[in-house]
Amino acid sequence: MKNLIVRTVKSPHILVILLVIPLGGFFLYARYSASQFFVCLAISLGVIIGYLIYAYITLNERQAVLSLERSECEERLNLLQVEIAHERQANTALQGKITNYSLLKNLTEKLCASFTLADTSQIIAADVNGVYDRAEMTVIVYLLRSAGELSLIASLRGQEPLNLKAKRGDLYDQWVFKNFKPLLVEDTKTDFRFDSEKISTEDGRTIRSLMSVPLTVGEKTVGVLRVDSSKEHHFSTEDLRFLNTVGNIGAVALENAQLYERVEDLAIRDSLTGLYLRRHLLERLSTEIGRHLRNDTQMSFLMIDLDHFKKYNDRFGHTAGDIVLKTIAMILSDMFKQPGDIVCRYGGEEFCVLLPDCNKKKAGKLAEELRKRIEGQTIILRRERTHITVSVGVAAFPTDATTKEELVQKADVALYEAKASGRNRTVMAKETI
């Protein structure tokens, strides 16, 4: 019945037919048959009016139900729209994380293939710069040296190396290093933690915002990774969080590179004096001979032997002999520190020096200067002031020799002549005719 009423109300032509036909019939009947039928007509009209009132009330109730259902649908639609917006945000965040994870994966692969501090630091700086890829941004990597100070090891602006004068960092870097936690400065002019007037950059760069993280492995700090910009509010908390993740990976890679270089040094350096071993010297000799042949230049070779060293060991003991060897090594390292110079402990109390791009005459002067310096050096052994002397043989390539074996032999022969003629002197190898 209810559905019939709703269908009737929703279809006006049906309602018109239902009302017009009976009323028309009633009026005709009452006009031509009997006037008493008007009573029946009035009753019929009353029934119809009641029906219409009932239909009107039913229609209002149905409209109320439909309005409520519409509100519920709109509410569900709004909730779905909010959920869709959240899903889009989550999807965007997920895509960002996937991108970051991909960058971290590539960085890790590059670092795994790097074994030197220079290469490792450059990879870290270049990848950080590639991640943010923003103008006016500088990436700096500091390494903690044995003296407990930060030392600049890599710096990039864009993809170009940047020569910074501030080699040990500024107040911001020291803060990160001492507090052992990341730092984000959105505007150096308004950050209450630092007095921008007291922070002067030696290289004259304008710094308005920066983020910096300590490079740590466990409880050990190996350096500081910093990114700064000349624009304020250039970095966000999310940027700092990702930089800290990069820093954790980079710290392990830098420590591994340090360990690798130490192992390499142990393989080619003498544990007592810290000088190169003979094996490394002979390898470099082959390389240098080839280079000097191509460039048609000269190089020289010094063979050095301590005079009467056995007497020092017999008189003062082997520990005192080690002190003498270390002292001579320090003098050699101090004198021959030009790029390319190689100082080597050849064996026992013998030392040698390779001098690239150095002719025989200049090498002879340097050898004589070395001899005099060692002769004048005071060494205290068991509270006794002692002195030691050396004999030096000098040979040059290609003046005296054309191969590395011949060069070493000519210097050794000259050294033997120096010892045979009284020691504490420099002898030049005889030129090949």
Name the band, by pLDDT with cuts 50, 70 and 90, for residue 215.
very high
How far is residue 395 from each of residues 275, 281, 284, measured CA to CA in Å? 21, 15, 16
Residue 341 falls inside a structural domain: yes
Residue 333 falls inside a structural domain: yes
Residue 32 falls inside a structural domain: yes
Query: What's the CATH number where 141 sits?
Result: 3.30.450.40
Domain count along the chain: 3
What confidence tens digit (pLDDT) does each residue in 52-76 have? 778 778 888 888 888 888 888 888 8
Q: Are residues 231 and 351 in the same domain?
A: no
Fill in the amino acid letter for 348. Answer: G
Domain span including residue 68: 1-113
Any residues with CB less than 8 A from the CB of 156 and at least 6 apart, and which?
122, 125, 126, 129, 138, 139, 162
Q: Are residues 285 and 237 in the same domain?
A: no
Residue 120 falls inside a structural domain: no
Q: Are residues 260 and 381 in the same domain?
A: no
Average pLDDT over residues 147-160: 83
Name the band, by pLDDT with cuts 50, 70 and 90, for residue 433.
very low
Q: Are residues 184 and 321 in the same domain?
A: no
| H helix or E strand, kind and range, residue 213 | strand 209-217
Position 207 pLDDT exceeds 70: yes
Average pLDDT over residues 304-320: 86
Last residue of a domain, one of 46, 79, 113: 113
Quote the CA–CA distance of 396 and 409 in Å, as a whole number.
11
Active site residues per annotation? 349
SS3 41: helix
Q: Which of 26-30, 178-182, 322-326, 409-413 has the lowest mean pLDDT?
A: 26-30
Last residue of a domain, one of 268, 285, 311: 268
- Percentage with pLDDT > 70 across the chain: 84
Quote the CA–CA distance of 353 and 176 in Å, as a whole number.
43
Q: Are residues 220 and 347 in the same domain?
A: no
Q: What is the pLDDT of residue 18?
A: 63
Q: Are residues 152 and 281 in the same domain?
A: no
Residue 122 falls inside a structural domain: no
The secondary structure of 122-187 as a DSSP string is HHHHHHHHHHH--TTEEEEEEEE-TTS-EEEEEEEETTEE---S-TT--HHHHHHHHHTS-EEES-
Q: Are residues 176 and 208 in the same domain?
A: yes
Position 6 pLDDT exceeds 70: no
Position 371 pLDDT exceeds 60: yes
The tokens for 272 are 């007592």
Q: Are residues 171 and 188 in the same domain?
A: yes
Q: Please confirm whether the linkage preceding 398 is cis (ω < 30° from 0).
A: yes
Position 199 pLDDT exceeds 70: no
